[in-house]
Structure 1
Amino acid sequence: MRSCAIRLRALVNIYGGDLFTVSEASADVFRDPDTGFSFSQKDVAITTNNNFITFRIAIPSPAPAGQPYDAVIQIVAPVAAGWVGAAWGGSMTNNPLLIGWANGASGVVSMRRATSHTAPTAYTGASVQLLKKGTKSNGTHWQVTAKCTGCTQFTTTGTTTKTLNPAGSNRLAFAYSKTKPSQPGSDTSTINVHDLFNYWDHDFASAGNPEFQDLVDRNL
């Protein structure tokens, strides 16, 4: 049996019944009591004083090797984060970029793509669906949970196709901005340039969920 998240650090906040738990370990399995998903999770630092964004990934089990499959991503960010983007291809260009931000007590997600070092534009090669039961905010953090179709297999440049390995580690990237989108209620809102970006290797092998589609349906 896969172990639950190891070495929890003191970042558990209860506010109005909402629970946010972030693990300090480099690669843990987090079983979300709200959505029912088992996520592989990773904390990435955004400052030098222990401020983190937590990225969680859930995929179907078994997922077909070499074929596209849906994925659920959950982002937990401090309220100081105006928006957070997750780049599925491990760079800021030529791959699906899922962007999320808080909008009051709820959240917004948007699919973008950049082909150069310019502001990303709307991307129709992938679709994203917000999962309401996994999306919330409190006085210290906001969280968005979304299903992405088209994020695990995509064309990078020309006819080159990249497929994320469901049984191993995949290099992902993130971007973070302290400034909120200009129209936080709109998934097409303009966003400003990020303040920080970085990369990490995410363990997809521990992200499997045998009841993946049932869990998606329960959380819409």
Structure 2
Amino acid sequence: MRWNLGLTCAAALFGFVSEASADIFRDPDTGFSFSQKDVPITTNNDYITFRIAIPSPAPAGQPYDTVLQIVAPVVANWVGVAWGASMLNNPLLLGWPNGASGVVSMRRATTRTAPAVYTGASVQLLKTGTKSNGTHWQVTAKCTGCTQFTTTGTTTKSLNPAGSNRLAFAYSKTKPSQPGSDSSPISVHDLFGYWDHDFASAGNTGFQDLVDKNL
């Protein structure tokens, strides 16, 4: 069973099956229109869905906020997104389930060790888009500082709001040791990978109003 079918099942459980398409997801819960990508994580055809929303218009070459929504099967006990498509020297947004809700955390690694809590970017959980059931969990969060950041030295990377950006992910089957804390230690990931995400179709007018509505 491919994830498009699995996503349909998960969507039915979460009450949004009719809103999904191949590339765009219009979320009836939060009101955001997301650009989405389904990324395989196991040989059993489990997928994680990554959805991104940005302001419209968003300034090229300048920082702008983004909303990330992660829908993951329960086999994934934490999921991380690397905005610079590498484990090292870029913001890492982590999310995991915590009972009926979820936790998000900003991290950064400069060496190949467990990433430390990162204060150069901030993340804010959107409660309306965060939930779980017996098969999947979902977190939705606004990130400030994820679309423009310093990599090494004085080198700055900016994500193109009008095109495709290379991102990376990691996930683990092991729960964070303190799942209620956004600074909890995490285990080594079981899998990592990359994908190209279309930001051009992620624009939302009234972006900040939608954020405020969903806090």
Same fold (TM over 0.5): yes
Q: Which amino acid aligns with 1:164?
A: L
Q: Is the 8 A contact 2:16 2:27 kept in 1?
A: no
- Name whichever structure is richer in strand by fraction: 1
| Matching residue's letter, 1:76 | V
Q: Which runs of 4+ in 1 moved over 2 A?
A: 7-15, 18-25
CA separation in 2, counterparts of 1:52 and 1:10? 8
What is the rounded CA distance, in whole Å, between the counterparts of 2:172 and 2:119 in structure 1? 23
Among residues 129, 133, 139, which one is paired with 1:134 in the alignment? Answer: 129
For 2:187, the equivalent position in structure 1 comes to 192
Q: 2: distance between equivalents of 1:8 and 1:162?
A: 33
Q: What residue ranges of structure 1 are gaps of 5+ in the alignment?
A: 1-6
Q: Is the 8 A contact 2:74 2:137 kept in 1?
A: yes
Contact 1:173–1:197 (CA<8 Å) still a contact in 2? yes
Q: How does 1:70-85 map to 2 (within 5 A)?
A: 70-85=65-80
Alpha-carbon spacing, 1:115–1:23, altered in 2? closer, same or farther (3 Å) = farther
CA distance in structure 2 between the aligned counterparts of 1:9 and 1:58, rounded to whole angstroms = 23
Letter in 2 for 1:92: M
Deviation at 1:19, TM superposition (A): 2.6
Aligned counterpart for 2:163 among listed residues 168, 193, 213: 168
What is the aligned partner in structure 2 of residue 146 from structure 1? 141
**1:53-82: CA deviation from partner (whole Å, max 9, x where unpaired):** 000000000000110000000000001111
The equivalent residue for 1:42 is 37
Q: Spell out the pairing of 1:1-220 with structure 2 (5 A cutoff).
A: 8-11=4-7, 12-13=9-10, 14-15=12-13, 18-19=14-15, 21=17, 25=22, 28-220=23-215
Shift of 1:9: 2.3
Question: Percent sequence identity over matched residues?
Answer: 81
Supply the AA of the counterpart residue of 2:185.
T
Structure with the higher fraction of residues in helix conformation:
2
In structure 2, what residue type is equivalent to 1:202?
H
Length, aligned pairs only: 210
Contact 2:172 2:188 in 1 (8 A): yes
| Cα pair 1:172 1:202 within 8 Å, conserved | yes
